[in-house]
Structure 1
Amino acid sequence: MNYPLMLAACSLPLAGAAFAEAPVTSLEPVVVTATRTPQADSLASVTVIDRAEIDRSQARSLPGLLQGLPGITVSRNGGAGQSASIFLRGTNSDHVLVLVDGIKIGSSTAGQTPFEDLPLEEIERIEIVRGPRSSLYGSEAIGGVIQIFTRRGGGALRPRLRVGAGSHGSAEVAAGMSGGGEQAWWSAGASLSHTDGINACDGRASPFAGCGVVQPDRDAYRNVGISLRGGYAFSDAAKLDVHLLRSENRTDFDGSEYAGNLSRAEQQVLGTTAVLQPLAPWTLTLTAGRSWDKYRSYFEDPDTGMEARFVDSFNTERDTLSLQNDLTIGVPHLLTLGLDYQEDRVGGTLEYTEDSRDNLGVFGQYQGYLGATDLELSLRQDDNQQFGGHTTGSAAIGYLIGQETRVSLSYGTAFKAPTFNDLYYPNYGSLDLDPEQSESLELGLTGILPLGQHASGDWDVHLYETRINDLIAYDAAASAVANVQKALIRGLEASSTIRYAAWVIQANATLLDPENRSKGPNEGNLLPRRPQQSVRLDVDRQLARWAAGATLYVAGRSFDDLANRDRLDGYALVDLRAEYELTDALKLQARVENLLDQDYETAYLYNRPGRSFYLTLSYQPGSGY
């Protein structure tokens, strides 16, 4: 473990998430999401995906990029652009907190983030932290946190252009420019993608079977993404960063004249971060932002293709403000004290009893590096206008065995506040709800593989247990939602990366036991849409101007309902990719998805694409090998 680098990272005047991508000389990535401060070696279970990895994978969407990573299950209601749910460590899909450049995003009514609509082309880096983080971030971080960083820029002027086409009438084009020099950084980009899609759902004439309708047509999708970011370092002690990410989306889906079969949605996040260092041991970070989530549904006449009738709209606006102080005490101690303020406002066609609420969070954290021992302690108090006060905390300790292996033990509590739909949706919500609560215990082992002079590798294993109480679900006896469910989730995650000459091999496996502990007929059943076993293997080879790779993803069987009657069979997917560098700036990429043409479902009666082919040409000076 590189203690000097860790201590240097803790004292960097870059504590704000907006500056997390600043280059650091290290074989290990610097992560900020796990502790809200830069860390070169976190006690948490963390996955980092940088822009080079995104390009190498040739993934076509954010859910596709995340599928099969340790602890992550992706469920999709059809093909490209259809609703996607991310389950982190077996917790519910609304138990993951999502940040964009430090700003919280997602719907305050539905309680989830539309991952399928976030434009992958505008993303520079992703940090995935598994395990509870409410003691630093407040509500929602029961399963973990996913933070997305937009393209930052900096250095010399660099244009970029990407065009592609493929199966299902798919086409995409993206362009951008970045630069800034030594003290400034800026980046601007835009992307457009379209697909004719597949038939999303093999519905039945029943509201309880898949989409509940029979509508055997292709469901198209269009996404327009825009990102802007810029910043300036006035000195080593004063930096400012401003960022914008926006997407506009049009999605056909299998619906009805009551729910619609066409949606238009917008997501936008605008934020700024200022970092000041008044004194050498004191870093002050101020972050402010606003996120929007707007959704409108229509009924499209199947004969004319015209939007015949407006159905519904849901609008969310969220303002956030954060003040964070990082104090270095001596060399091995870092103390963080901060305040978070959040105000949510909702609107649309439904009239809620209350259409706004605010939350004030106060948090503190201690990080100590004492010889071979690492220690992290954090505590937070949230005061919510609707549900009152809630306290969460966490503790983690790590010990270095020799020079290559570390063992860690952690405990944390987390919670999720009820959404506006949970509280106020007509004939559904209840004002008597309490926050969902969890306790998690985790044992971790990480190490370096002794592979000799010409190879390198690392490995990690994490064993965890999470108990969730007061889960919110519909109570038929009360004709409203209530805190009626419980869950016990046990899991094991193991992963390893080996680099030998021009080869890179990455493998991970997740074993999961997501048990429903609610009293009643479903007690002991599996929670829906969580396979108990999943394995992913990535193999890549670089040879001069050529590169080739393959991904194998295997998922075990799961169920789509609490009663465990609607079975989702296990499946195996094989994807192939290749690329050729025509010049130092021009690259041709080819990808085959679902090579074996597997027929599988991740949501009951919702189809997934069969064998598909895609070709991409990209231009970016300075990207050559």
Structure 2
Amino acid sequence: MFFSALKSTRFISAGFTLASLLLVSVSSTLAADIDDSETIGLFSDEKPLVATSPIPRPTSKIAENVTVITADDILRINAHTLADVLQTVPGIQLDFIRTPGAFTFFNLQGAMNTTVLVLIDGIRQNDFDQDIAFPALIPVQQIERIEIIKGASSGSWGYALGGVINIVTKSGNPDRAVSGLVSSSIGSRFTADSRAELSGTEKSLSYYLTAGHLRTDGLTANTDGSQDNLYGKLAYTLPGGGTATLGLSQVASWQGVSAGAVPQLGLLFKQDAEDRHRYGFLKFQQPFEHSLNLDLQIYATDRDDGTKRWMGPDQNTLSLRQFSVTDSTRGAKGSLSWGDSRNNLVLGGEYLHVHGSSDFVTANLSLYDRTWDSYAAYLNGTWSIGDLSVLPGVRYDATGISGDHTSYTLGLTYQVNEHTTLRAYAAQGFTLPFLITDNGTQKVRTVQAGVETGVIPLLWAKGTFFYNSLRNNQLLGSVNLVNTVDQNNLGFELEARTTPLYGIWLTGGYTYLDARDDKTGKRLQTDDSKTIPSQIYKMAVNYDQADLGLHGALTGSGVDWNAASGTLFPARSRGIVWDLNLSWKPASSTLLSPELFFTAHNLFDAVQTTSNVLYTNPGRWYEGGARLRF
């Protein structure tokens, strides 16, 4: 038992026409001999994705701009939380980089993280108060894969205006009855991370268990904190090839979340937060004859966030303001899919019961207390004619709190040859209003087009053009005020990766964004209420030499905030944040040999923050540790 278009039609038509014309135009210049290869470039293991649809698809049948991060990628950078991982992804920029576990926001191609749906095990991680999922509160040890969809995805996922971060957790080791890992690290300011996991399969039952503890004295002012997490998954293979899976998760954290003095306001400011988030699910998957598959899931979540805020002109006159936010959900979802990766159809539905409340504790005031039910039904699929695939989708959401919405998507892919795929995608999406303000539904219409190719020797490359028209976009101000703006985001993204040579390969990404106010045409800038990075740079030098037990990554992240002048809390960017990650397993051929790892963060003391007063990032700092697999 679990714990207690631009009007719609005109826009879509124009978007689909533009996408089709671009596809035909580019394909005519790149046409070449075609074979039946189903996977290209990005995924060297040639496994299908599950991110963009409930049915697996190879990369040549993915119309959206998708980035996939694996468990090996996470291990290579010695990441603590999801925030550490997102900072390395092209198109994503953290608002500020601070102590591991300290809260931060992020931006995805001009979309605030309040519009990006974060899922773990298919379960929403965003709160309902402000639609926020804090990546620094999501530990990475149990993550098998992260699938990031950039752009409106409401046709498949519902409340996903800015995109989706879909996290797939690890399953039990299928080859051994008992296996596991213990890991511990220590760094500057007693920043320590301890983890353990146990995994295996015995006959029809597999299991995966992990626990972790992250603590720190804080690398910058008032970022000391601690975080405990526990996760478990049991899966039982049923007769006929079906699977029943039970999962439970709990994360509890305490953190300091602001800086001390705020000279602009003439105040001392301190804020502490306690967060507890639990969820559980029971999932049933059953294949049938004729390529039919049934997926059913029931789940429950429970969240309790408390904030204490002290403000005053001096240490002797600080006044306390205490807030609490809670929400709980009970839900069920199911889908019936038919077909294979080339031709398929998916019919699904969801039900969700939500209760959310917020209290201003010190004033004994209820800010809101709401309960509602939502329903959704969707239909999407793939239709392939030779090397051309058409991917339509439609979803209807009765939100129960902000009206009813119908979302559409249409994608096209064309596999020019074994190494090159063209993509085009048009969609509309939405996300719920903040409960704290109820300013109405936020909406977006998007068009994307791009090419992914490996025709250049030793190089894989991908380029994507995007245009997003956001309406009623809600922006959180520095003093918890919410402003709305209609804006249009135009830009492109480039990614590249070289083929490993002597164990070394390079990766890089560049994102350009031009965001403008729809009414005035004025270019938007980063200020106290919004982050609008005009350019984002990602780069890395990676090294793997398995026979020597050596692994490493030098990662770099740079940003041009396009900062507005005269703001209360000015953004600042100076230099590129370089992190050096190294690991060594002395006896690489021995299972029980320990692996030593070391990370030097921000090697050259760069600065990247949207609030140089409150959220300055730490300078150079170090950490190291050891892990043992058995």
Q: Same fold (TM over 0.5)?
A: yes
Letter in 1 for 2:491: G
The answer to which structure, 1 or 2, has the higher relative contact order (CA under 8 A, 6+ apart) is 2
Asked if 1:145 is matched to 2:164, the reply is yes
- CA–CA distance in structure 2, aligned partners of residues 562 and 111 of structure 1: 29
Specify every segment of 5 or more residues in structure 2 that has no aligned partner in the other structure, as ranges. Answer: 1-33, 261-266, 361-365
- CA–CA distance in structure 2, aligned partners of residues 530 and 474 of structure 1: 13
Distance 1:183 1:370, change over 3 A: farther
TM-score (norm 2): 0.83
Whether the aligned pair in 2 keeps the contact of 1:80 and 1:221 (CA below 8 Å) is: no
Correspondence for 1:70: 90
Q: Give the secondary structure class of the aligned counterpart of 1:180.
A: strand
- CA–CA distance in structure 2, aligned partners of residues 381 and 258 of structure 1: 48
Residue 617 of structure 1 is aligned with which of 606, 626, 629? 626
CA RMSD of aligned residues (A): 3.0
- CA–CA distance in structure 2, aligned partners of residues 472 and 401 of structure 1: 41
Q: How does 1:578-593 map to 2 (within 5 A)?
A: 578-583=582-587, 584=590, 585=592, 586-593=594-601
Shift of 1:462: 0.5
Correspondence for 1:187: 208
Asked if 1:515 is matched to 2:516, the reply is yes
Correspondence for 2:555: 551
- CA–CA distance in structure 2, aligned partners of residues 107 and 30 of structure 1: 30
Shift of 1:236: 4.4
Correspondence for 2:602: 594
Q: How does 1:428-577 map to 2 (within 5 A)?
A: 433-451=439-457, 457-472=459-474, 484-498=484-498, 499-519=500-520, 523-527=522-526, 528-543=530-545, 544-559=548-563, 566-577=570-581
Whether the aligned pair in 1 keeps the contact of 2:65 and 2:150 (CA below 8 Å) is: yes
Asked if 1:371 is matched to 2:372, the reply is no
- CA–CA distance in structure 2, aligned partners of residues 359 and 267 of structure 1: 21
Asked if 1:240 is matched to 2:241, the reply is no
Q: Which moved more, 1:308-317 or 1:244-253?
A: 308-317
Correspondence for 1:267: 277
Whether the aligned pair in 2 keeps the contact of 1:197 and 1:221 (CA below 8 Å) is: yes
Distance 1:489 1:243, change over 3 A: same
Asked if 1:402 is matched to 2:417, the reply is yes
Q: Which moved more, 1:33-42 or 1:407-416?
A: 33-42
- CA–CA distance in structure 2, aligned partners of residues 373 and 84 of structure 1: 41
Shift of 1:136: 1.0
Whether the aligned pair in 1 keeps the contact of 2:64 and 2:448 (CA below 8 Å) is: no
Aligned residues: 563
Letter in 1 for 2:323: D
TM-score (norm 1): 0.83
Q: Give the secondary structure class of the aligned counterpart of 1:411.
A: strand
Distance 1:526 1:315, change over 3 A: same
Letter in 2 for 1:339: G
Distance 1:560 1:85, change over 3 A: farther
Correspondence for 2:188: 167
Task: Work out the percentage of aligned pairs sharing the same amino acid.
Answer: 18
Q: How does 1:27-426 map to 2 (within 5 A)?
A: 27-41=45-59, 42-76=62-96, 78-139=98-159, 141-155=160-174, 156=176, 157-181=178-202, 183-200=204-221, 218-254=222-258, 261-298=271-308, 311-328=322-339, 332-350=342-360, 351-352=366-367, 354-423=369-438
Provide Cα deviations, 1:365-420, integer angstroms capped at 9, x if missing partner. Answer: 02112211011000011112222211110101111213321111110000112121
- CA–CA distance in structure 2, aligned partners of residues 390 and 562 of structure 1: 39
Letter in 1 for 2:58: A
- CA–CA distance in structure 1, aligned partners of residues 559 and 216 of structure 2: 26
Specify every segment of 5 or more residues in structure 1 that has no aligned partner in the other structure, as ranges. Answer: 7-24, 201-217, 424-432
- CA–CA distance in structure 2, aligned partners of residues 491 and 243 of structure 1: 40
Moved over 4 A (4+): 1-6, 255-260, 299-304, 307-310, 479-482, 560-565
- CA–CA distance in structure 1, aligned partners of residues 83 and 581 of structure 2: 18
Q: Which moved more, 1:523-532 or 1:80-89?
A: 523-532
- CA–CA distance in structure 2, aligned partners of residues 279 and 77 of structure 1: 51
Shift of 1:473: 5.5
Distance 1:3 1:94, change over 3 A: farther
Whether the aligned pair in 2 keeps the contact of 1:517 and 1:524 (CA below 8 Å) is: no
Letter in 2 for 1:338: G
Provide Cα deviations, 1:314-336, integer angstroms capped at 9, x if missing partner. Answer: 1111222111010228x942111
Q: Give the secondary structure class of the aligned counterpart of 1:177.
A: strand
Letter in 2 for 1:619: L
Provide Cα deviations, 1:226-266, integer angstroms capped at 9, x if missing partner. Answer: 11011012134421111122111011233799986222111
Shift of 1:562: 11
